[in-house]
Amino acid sequence: AADMADPGECSIKVVCRFRPLNSAEVARGDKYIPKFIGDDCVQIAGKPYHFDRVFQSNTTQVQFYNAVALKIVKDVLEGYNGTIFAYGQTSSGKTHTMEGKLHDPEMMGIIPRIVQDIFNYIYSMDENSEFHIKVSYFEIYLDKIRDLLDVTKTNLSVHEDKNRVPFVKGCTERFVCSPDEVMDAIDEGKNNRHVAVTNMNEHSSRSHSIFLINIKQENTQTEQKLTGKLYLVDLAGSEKVGKTGAEGTVLDEAKMINKSLSSLGNVISALAEGSKSYVPYRDSKMTRILQDSLGGNCRTTMVICCSPSAFNDAETRSTLLFGQRAKTIKNTVSLNVELTAEQWKKKWEKEKEKNKTLRTTITWLETELNRWRKGESVPVEEQFDKEKAKAEVVSLDAALNNNDKAAPKPSLGSLPGVALTGPEKEKYEAEMAKLYKELDDKDDEINQQSQEVEKLKQQLLDQELLESSRSDHNTLQTELNRLLAENEASKEEVKEVLQALEELAVNYDQKSQEVEDKTKEFEALSEELNQKSSSLASIDSELQKLKEMTNHQKKRVTEMMSCLLKDLAEIGIAVGSNDMKKIQQESSGLIDEEFTVARLYISKMKAEVKTMVKRSKQLESSQAERSQKLEETESDLTACKLRVSQYEAKIKSLTDSLQNVEHKKRQLEENVDLLNDEIVRIRAEENAEKVNAMEKENEIQSANEVKEAVEKQIQSHREAHQKQISSLRDELDSKEKLITELQDSNQEIVLEQERLKVEHEKLKAADQEKSRQLQELTLLQDRREQARQDLKGLEETVARELQTLHSLRRLFVQDLSRRVRKNGQDMDDSETCAAQKQKISFLESNLEQLTKVHKQQLVRDNASLRCEIPKMEKRLRATATRVQALEAALKEAKESAAREKKRYEEEMERIKDTVKPKNMGRRASAVIDPVKPIRPGQLPGASP
């Protein structure tokens, strides 16, 4: 323990500094709220706040430095610890106060000035002093200590040294030899800070920056060592970070930001209360580091920075209150001096002497006091005297020094105030050392762990990045796979398409081949066609030629014929010549031949016509038979149908009647029940009457008679009732019967009508058929008539021809005979005459023969036609009669249909008439319903 010298209590020095209104506030027209009273009081809204010093807005940096920091520099250089805090809301002037413009001589803050002054002081010291100055620069953000002189150290831990003074372990300590080196370090640190963060304004308002100057000086002559630590702290903005937080801060972060400041407030509050029992230094790293500065061995100055604007009114006031609280904190300051061995010895001797003197004084005073208490009066010479006591101590000393060897040294053990024996103390110290060692180890471990944690965090981040990239990769892979699959599918498709194309190509080849074949075929065919057409043309031409030829021949034939006729005429003219006769003979032979051929044809045609007629007759007869049969079967069928429908109708009506009967039966049963009830009631009444009568028997004899009469009346009543019921029932039955009958008849009529309709249809059809046949027959007749006329014409022509032939012959014979006579008169050529006669006779015979044949043929034809005529006439007659019959039948059918219709209508009318009253009757019967309930109070005998 080296800090034992000159202990002294002193409170924290708190000064207040107001900055001027900034341009924005001026522009806004903010009110300047502080009122300065003297140089240690500021009044806001009438409330005064007292501090060690209050600096108005116009205070220059030099003024402030001289008034506040200069003294501290001196203290630190004399071996004391010092701290300067700057507290206040953001933009209240903390950084301006601490740093200012670092390289501007006028605007620089206290840090550069301190640095400068330290060195100035050192330079002014005597040559026996040796100085070792090292600086550290770190910031605390979210309760993490970040080394600003080594960016790799992001989370440093706080340890305690053997004197239980906390310090940032592992923090870079830069040894500096000149103010420039210090300034370089500061610049470097500030630069690092800027590099590390994105938003410097926000970051600086949320973090504490701490600049530490450690000065060690050694007097080379006396070997006295003095150490002084100076903390220069630019605190985070005192304004609370709201729960909503500033941009980019989550709630946890906001808590952390508030934590160090609130724990500073708590520490200050605890210290201000005065009870040093528990101060929550350990709540945050900052309070741990500044533990010595707050309520410890340190001369501490707190600068309360304030905004003068009315706009920051609330924050300013809370800042001022904080400063006032801090003002009450008392620190115990001692010099940090390391004594040389000689100094220690002297000090020890001195202390021992002091101790001895005090002890003799005590014993003296005690004895004197005792004597006084005992009532003795102590003479003046025996009373306590400082000089005498000193002298006594010296003499005692000599005596003690002699017996010193055995006695233990009491003073050493009593130093901490607790009596500890030597070994105990040793043990205790060993324990302490061990514990500190352990603590150090733990701290080391913690540091390692935190570094590990940092690393792991980094790794985690990397991992996350990797993970995300992996997931990206996966998604990409799946996408790729999908695309590949698609690609594959499309490839497949393409393949298929290609295959199809190939097939198509093959098909196309085949088709084209086929087409070629076909075209070849077609060509061949067309060629053939051409050939054919050419041959056709040739054939046509040939045909034309032939036609022409035939025409020509015909012409020629006609010419020949005309020639022949001419020749014949010539022959006629040249009657006398033999040659001519011969020619005539030849020609007549030719005509004969032609006639025979024509006759043969005609006969053949006749035969054919006959056979045709016969066949047609046969067919007609068979058709008639068939139609007759068909008619018969149809009539059978309709009869059957009729019967079936009749039966059906009957069944229907029967079921209806059955239902009706059932219904009636039920009604009647109900009636019977009702009547039974009535009877029972009536009997009961009768009984009652009887009882009455019995009671009154003696009194009224004649009552019996009355009763009997009543009974009889009732009996008659009942009988009448019964009769009425039975008559009603009979009536009902008869009505029902009537209804069923009517229904049946109705059914029958309907059916009959249907049947008649069908018959009518059939007759109509038959009529049509017959008329058609008639037409056909008339047509046939006409044709026959035509044929007959034709035949007659033919006969006439033949006859005319024959006549002409006869006349010709006669003419020819006359001519011939005349010629012969002429010849006989002229030449008397008997020979030629005989030949001519022979020829004529031949011709005559020939002619006769021809005529005979012709006649015979004609007669035959005539005969056959004649026998045909009556047959035809007969058939015509038959058809006519048939048509007449059919017409009559049709007429009859129509009439009968009309009649039936009329009958049906009449029937219908009748039915309607009969049904109407029946319904009305029914309704009427409903009015006098026998099922009508009988209510009590309605006397049955009341209505006779």
Nearer to Mg ion, 90 or 136 (CB): 90
Nearest distance, CB of residue 88 and ligand ADP, angstroms: 5
Measured CA to CA, the distance from residue 702 to residue 697 in angstroms comes to 9
Q: How many CB atoms lie within 10 A of CB 793?
A: 10
Which residues lie closer than 8 Å to 328 by C-beta, 6 or more apart? 11, 271, 272, 274
Burial status of residue 878 (CB atoms within 10 A of its CB: 0-12, 13-18, 19 or more)? exposed
Nearer to ligand ADP, 64 or 138 (CB): 64
92 binding partner (options ligand ADP, Mg ion, none; Cβ < 5 to 8 Å by kind) = ligand ADP
3-state class of 286 per DSSP?
helix
305 binding partner (options ligand ADP, Mg ion, none; Cβ < 5 to 8 Å by kind) = ligand ADP
Nearer to ligand ADP, 88 or 112 (CB): 88
Nearer to ligand ADP, 95 or 646 (CB): 95
Nearest distance, CB of residue 209 and ligand ADP, angstroms: 10
Tokens describing residue 592: 């004969």
Nearer to ligand ADP, 166 or 323 (CB): 323
22 binding partner (options Mg ion, ligand ADP, none; Cβ < 5 to 8 Å by kind) = ligand ADP
Which residues lie closer than 8 Å to 151 by C-beta, 6 or more apart? 192, 195, 196
Give one word for 248, left, alpha or beta, with left for phi > 0 and alpha for psi -120 to 50. left
Measured CA to CA, the distance from residue 139 to residue 160 in angstroms comes to 19
Measured CA to CA, the distance from residue 261 to residue 90 in angstroms comes to 13
Nearest distance, CB of residue 49 and ligand ADP, angstroms: 18
Nearer to Mg ion, 200 or 639 (CB): 200
91 binding partner (options ligand ADP, Mg ion, none; Cβ < 5 to 8 Å by kind) = ligand ADP
Nearest distance, CB of residue 239 and Mg ion, angstroms: 12
DSSP 609-631: HHHHHHHHHHHHHHHHHHHHHHH
Contacts with ligand ADP by CB under 6 A lie at 19-20, 22, 88, 90-96, 205, 305
3-state class of 40 per DSSP?
coil
DSSP 549-564: HHHHHHHHHHHHHHHH
Nearer to ligand ADP, 94 or 581 (CB): 94
Residues of each annotated binding site for ATP: 88-95
307 binding partner (options ligand ADP, Mg ion, none; Cβ < 5 to 8 Å by kind) = none
Nearer to Mg ion, 204 or 260 (CB): 204
Nearer to ligand ADP, 92 or 284 (CB): 92
166 binding partner (options ligand ADP, Mg ion, none; Cβ < 5 to 8 Å by kind) = none
Nearer to ligand ADP, 106 or 831 (CB): 106
Nearest distance, CB of residue 157 and ligand ADP, angstroms: 27
93 binding partner (options Mg ion, ligand ADP, none; Cβ < 5 to 8 Å by kind) = ligand ADP
Question: CA nearest 55: which of 71, 70, 40?
Answer: 40
925 binding partner (options ligand ADP, Mg ion, none; Cβ < 5 to 8 Å by kind) = none
Contact 305, 238 (CB under 8 A): no
Measured CA to CA, the distance from residue 193 to residue 187 in angstroms comes to 10
Contact 650, 657 (CB under 8 A): no
Q: What percent of the residues of the chain are helix, what percent strand, and what percent coil, each to the nearest 5?
A: 70, 10, 20
88 binding partner (options ligand ADP, Mg ion, none; Cβ < 5 to 8 Å by kind) = ligand ADP
Nearer to Mg ion, 76 or 108 (CB): 108
3-state class of 19 per DSSP?
coil
Measured CA to CA, the distance from residue 133 to residue 213 in angstroms comes to 7
Residues of each annotated binding site: 88-95
Measured CA to CA, the distance from residue 10 to residue 332 in angstroms comes to 6
Contact 931, 667 (CB under 8 A): yes
Nearest distance, CB of residue 96 and ligand ADP, angstroms: 3
Beta bridge partners of 231: 83, 212
Place of tokens 């050939």: 531
Element (H, E) at 735: helix 702-826
Taking the alpha carbons at both ends of the chain, their separation in whole angstroms is 151
CA dihedral 421, 423, 429, 433 (to 10 degrees): -170
DSSP 748-772: HHHHHHHHHHHHHHHHHHHHHHHHH
Contacts with Mg ion by CB under 5 A lie at 94-95, 204
Nearest distance, CB of residue 109 and ligand ADP, angstroms: 8
CA 606 from centroid of its chain's CA atoms = 96
Residue nearest to ligand ADP (CB): 93
Nearest distance, CB of residue 14 and ligand ADP, angstroms: 17
82 binding partner (options Mg ion, ligand ADP, none; Cβ < 5 to 8 Å by kind) = none
Element (H, E) at 502: helix 422-573
Nearest distance, CB of residue 22 and ligand ADP, angstroms: 6
Nearest distance, CB of residue 215 and ligand ADP, angstroms: 26
3-state class of 17 per DSSP?
strand
193 binding partner (options ligand ADP, Mg ion, none; Cβ < 5 to 8 Å by kind) = none
334 binding partner (options ligand ADP, Mg ion, none; Cβ < 5 to 8 Å by kind) = none
Nearest distance, CB of residue 19 and ligand ADP, angstroms: 3
Which residues lie closer than 8 Å to 407 by C-beta, 6 or more apart? 400
| Sign of the Cα pseudo-torsion (788, 793, 794, 796, in order) | positive
Contact 137, 189 (CB under 8 A): yes
635 binding partner (options Mg ion, ligand ADP, none; Cβ < 5 to 8 Å by kind) = none
Which residues lie closer than 8 Å to 16 by C-beta, 6 or more apart? 42, 49, 51, 53, 54, 55, 303, 304, 306, 320, 323
Nearer to Mg ion, 88 or 166 (CB): 88
Nearest distance, CB of residue 145 and ligand ADP, angstroms: 20
285 binding partner (options ligand ADP, Mg ion, none; Cβ < 5 to 8 Å by kind) = none
- Alpha carbon of 339 to those of 82, 110, 343, 347: distances in Å? 21, 32, 6, 9
Nearest distance, CB of residue 57 and ligand ADP, angstroms: 6
100 φ, ψ (degrees, to nearest 5): 65, -155
Nearest distance, CB of residue 111 and ligand ADP, angstroms: 12
Nearer to ligand ADP, 24 or 557 (CB): 24
- How do 13-18 and 53-55 pair as beta strands? parallel
Measured CA to CA, the distance from residue 325 to residue 295 in angstroms comes to 13
Nearer to Mg ion, 81 or 204 (CB): 204
Beta bridge partners of 86: 234, 303
